[in-house]
Amino acid sequence: MTSHMRLTKTCQYCKELFIAKTTVTKYCGDACSKKAYKARKRKAKIEASNQQTVKEIQRPIEEIKAKEFLNIQEACQLLGISRTTLWRLVRDGKVKSSKIGRRVILHKNDLVTFLES
């Protein structure tokens, strides 16, 4: 059972008019169909890459939020400030710090208290 329909449609890839034999035809030919397929796959790969990048960026911050005590670098990442600014706050006594050997650590509650004041 064949249909003798002839529909004028616009190709979804190249935007040219063509004669379609069925109502579900989207592309004017095999070449446009293949190009559209490759474009969809390329877009999916880019989206997956972007999502992976976002996960990699958010992972360290989530790990830092779980800690009770932070070093200078972690505190800078959490607050979004530079090392110089954080050292200035420690020097001025606005943020309490402790030393263990040569390491300087900050209690996360002290940082929260500083931000709230």
pLDDT number for residue 3? 67
- Is 73:87 a contact under the CB 8 Å cutoff? no
Looking at residue 36, its pLDDT comes to: 97
Give the tens place of pLDDT for each residue, 37-50.
999 999 999 999 99
- Sheet order of strands, 98-100 included: 69-71, 103-107, 98-100
- Distance CA(64)–CA(73), nearest Å, equals 10
Please state the rounded mean pLDDT for residues 68-78.
Answer: 90
Instruction: Check whether 28 has a pLDDT greater than 80.
Output: yes
Structure confidence at residue 56 (pLDDT)? 85
pLDDT tier at 52, thresholds 50, 70, 90: very high
CA distance 21 to 26: 11
